[in-house]
Amino acid sequence: MVITGTSKGIGRHLAESYAGEGYLVEGCSRRKADFQLPGYTHHELDVANERQVKAMISNVSRRHGRIDVLINNAAVASMNHVLLTPADASNRMLEVNVTGTMMFCRDAAKVMIRRRYGRIVNFTTIVAPIALAGEAVYAASKAAVVTFTRILAHEVGQWGITCNSFGATPIMTDMIRSVPQDKIDAVVKGLAIKRLGSLADCKNVCDFFINPKSDNITGQVVYLGGIT
Amino acid sequence: MQKEVALDVVLSCLRNAMEQFGNGQEGAVGTDTVIVGQSAVLDSIGLVSLIVDIEQRLEADHGIAVTLASEKAMSQRSSPFRTCGVLAEHVCSIIAEEQTA
Ligand SMILES: NC(=O)c1ccc[n+]([C@@H]2O[C@H](COP(=O)([O-])OP(=O)(O)OC[C@H]3O[C@@H](n4cnc5c(N)ncnc54)[C@H](OP(=O)(O)O)[C@@H]3O)[C@@H](O)[C@H]2O)c1
């Protein structure tokens, strides 16, 4: 199983949980992981660097001969009013969140094709469907992930590969620590289930998507908290 | 990589792809077999499958990791995937480029 963005936050929780369940987890992030676990291997790379992405997938494929699951969790967010957003920040979000996700899907799917089996889960967010002010480019990049995933599902379905998107509600990780509390409270108030998301919520949805029995579940997006 | 070796890989992968995606015209494949365009022996999905299979085979059997559908390849006026012979030459030149990079 390959998971991106495993040094902290949701990705780290998924890596620790799945390694604990016996999966061989290959994780990555720009920084070193400050944890070690049986069954877990860390790769230091930037998901937006094509050469590094290829090298990691090729390394995993050489060592294990297969990839059953890919979870594209790594992302960057820069919360800003559009009028105050530099092009560099916008390009970086698109490069990491969209192109990074695309490259992992492309290279992992090439390995999945061999065994005619694969489960891909790409992370999006509820801020896209709720059109949250202050997060225009980040939300746009995650909306792109949903469309990309729906089309990818059609392109690789014939090889037994399913592709779905998962959109979390706010979860207290470093990504949203700088977002003002009143803004988070307002988002939570608009949810059907009025609470923050949890790491366990994320794992629960991933469990469903990556289950071998979910072979007819593809091109879907599941949001937490009642958002559609 | 020598052109004959690349051609062997291309032909063997093409036979596999034709079994799965061909239009029924089995039979001999060779240097001049057309892979893209009119009178091609594969449809578009068959072509994707062939390219991925060749990349995987080069990596598994020869330890060479390359991407055949590079930006440069896709923007060439005449497709580097036209025929088996042209594709084998393309494989050799991509490997040479990769090794000097
Ligand atoms: N937290 C929320 O409220 C929330 C809500 C909805 C959706 N999400 C989504 O959930 C996912 C995880 O978010 P999180 O809250 O866990 O974020 P986080 O705590 O900021 O963690 C992000 C992870 O991604 C890695 N990463 C970032 N850029 C990278 C790059 N260019 N190359 C490689 N790794 C990179 C980071 O490691 P390095 O810094 O070491 O590279 C880190 O391990 C994201 O896709 C996010 O959009 C989060």
pTM attached to this predicted model: 0.94
> ipTM of this predicted complex?
0.83
pLDDT of residue B44: 87
The answer to whether A158 contacts B45, with C-beta atoms less than 8 Å apart, is yes
Contacts of B67 in chain A (CB under 8 A): 54
Residue A88 has pLDDT above 80, yes or no: yes
User: 3-class DSSP state for residue A166?
Assistant: strand
pLDDT of residue B39: 87
- Please name the residue whose Cα sits nearest to atom 3 of ligand 1: A170
List the A2-4 sheet strands across, edge first: A40-44, A25-29, A2-4, A69-72, A118-125, A161-168, A221-223
What CATH number has the domain bearing residue A126? 3.40.50.720
User: Which chain A residue is nearest to residue B57, measuring alpha carbons?
Assistant: A114
What CATH number has the domain bearing residue B45? 1.10.1200
> What confidence category does residue B81 fall into, taking pLDDT thresholds of 50, 70 and 90?
very high
Max avg pLDDT among A68-82, B17-31, B62-76: A68-82
Q: How far is the CA of A173 from the centre of ligand 1 (A)?
A: 9
pLDDT of residue A99: 98
CA distance A156 to A118: 9
Q: What is the pLDDT of residues A158-213, one digit of tens each?
A: 999 999 999 999 999 999 998 999 999 999 999 999 999 999 999 999 999 999 99
Q: How far is the CA of A74 from the centre of ligand 1 (A)?
A: 4
Q: Which amino acid makes up residue A66?
A: R
Mean predicted confidence (pLDDT) in A91-112:
98
Total domains, chain A: 1
Contact between A226 and A193 (Cβ < 8 Å): yes
> What confidence category does residue B100 fall into, taking pLDDT thresholds of 50, 70 and 90?
confident
Q: How far is the CA of A72 from the centre of ligand 1 (A)?
A: 10
CA distance A107 to A47: 12
Nearest Cα neighbor of A9 from A175, A168, A223 is A175
Contacts of A52 in chain B (CB under 8 A): none
- Residue A88 sits in which domain range? 2-226
Residue A215 has pLDDT above 90, yes or no: yes
- Please name the residue whose Cα sits nearest to atom 23 of ligand 1: A5
Query: Is A158 in CB contact (< 8 Å) with chain B?
Result: yes
Give the position of tokens 């988002």.
Answer: A187
User: Which chain A residue is nearest to residue B44, measuring alpha carbons?
Assistant: A155
Work out the number of other CB atoms within 10 angstroms of the CB of residue A66.
Answer: 13
Structure tokens at A146: 């949903």
Minimal C-alpha gap between A31 and chain B (Å):
25
Total domains, chain B: 1
The answer to whether A54 contacts B67, with C-beta atoms less than 8 Å apart, is yes
